[in-house]
Structures are given as C-alpha cells and as structure tokens.
C-alpha cells in the first residue's frame, strides 16, 4: 500500500475510474495502518475485509480495476493455442506468409465471421485467370 510504488498503475487508470489522487493517498495510508494495527495480512482477503466502497471509494475502484486486469489475458492465451494447432497441421505444407494469414483469421474469428464470404468468392471467380476455374 505505497502510493509511490503504485504511481504508474494509479496514473494510468485515474481518469478511467475517476479517482481523486489526494483522497486516494489518504485512503491508502489509512488502509495500510488498519492492516498493520489489526494484524491482518497484505493479501487480497485481508485487504477485502478493510476496504469497502462506502469507506474507501477511490481505493475500492482501483482494487476492482486491478482484480479485473488478469482476466484480459484470455485473448492472448487463445491466440497462442490457435497458433499451436495451426502450426502443427500446416508446418510442412505451407509457406510462412500463408500460415501467418490463416493464423490471423483464426485468432480474429469473431471479426472474420462477419465477412461476406459469397461476395469474396464471386469477386475471385470473376477475375481473369490463365486457367479456367469452371
């Protein structure tokens, strides 16, 4: 519970959750004293017992943001697992550029599902080829 040690995190999210820095500094000092005097641990359960939204509104908001951040790494983990599946199947049969393009399509599958596939296929079939596709 040191304001200076958490300054990067605090300054990054202060405008997002509308935190008053002077009040936050006082709340952090008071919470630190409560945890030390109450012989509570500086773990999440000890802090949760002391910090409530009514008493420490700024610190409560900041803790909520801090607890939500680890959840946002799921997209990254999904990307790596997708890459592993694709790389195993495509490793020997495709060029690197094609493998990269297919990886992006798989990772961004939510966006790629919104694309009009029929229109793309029609444009591809209408373009001139040296060999007839039909």
Answer yes or no: is pLDDT of 104 > 60.
Answer: yes
pLDDT value of residue 14: 82
Answer yes or no: is pLDDT of 89 > 80.
Answer: no
pLDDT value of residue 43: 72
The answer to whether the CB of 56 falls within 8 A of the CB of 27 is: yes
The answer to whether the CB of 13 falls within 8 A of the CB of 62 is: yes
Q: Quote the mean pLDDT of the chain.
A: 76
Name the pTM for this structure. Answer: 0.48
Size of the chain in residues: 134
Answer yes or no: is pLDDT of 91 > 70.
Answer: no
The span from the CA of 30 to the CA of 66, in Å, is: 19
Answer yes or no: is pLDDT of 81 > 70.
Answer: no
pLDDT average, residue stretch 99-105: 77
User: How many other C-beta atoms lie within 10 A of the C-beta of residue 18?
Assistant: 10
Of the segments 3-7, 21-25, 97-101, which one has the largest average pLDDT value? Answer: 21-25
Q: What does the pLDDT look like over 35-60, one tens digit per residue?
A: 777 776 667 766 777 788 888 888 88
């Amino acid at each position: 519970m040191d304001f200076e040690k958490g300054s990067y995190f605090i300054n990054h999210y202060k405008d997002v959750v509308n935190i008053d820095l002077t009040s936050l500094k006082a709340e952090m000092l008071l919470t630190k004293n409560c945890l030390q005097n109450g012989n509570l641990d500086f773990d999440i359960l000890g802090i949760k017992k002391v910090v409530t939204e009514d008493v420490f509104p700024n610190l409560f908001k900041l803790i909520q943001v801090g607890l939500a951040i680890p959840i946002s790494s799921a997209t990254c983990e999904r990307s790596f697992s997708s890459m592993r599946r694709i790389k195993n199947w495509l490793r020997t049969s495709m060029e690197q550029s094609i493998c990269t393009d297919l990886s992006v399509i798989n990772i961004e599958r939510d966006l790629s599902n919104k694309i009009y596939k029929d229109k793309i296929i029609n444009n591809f079939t209408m373009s001139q080829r040296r060999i007839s596709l039909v």
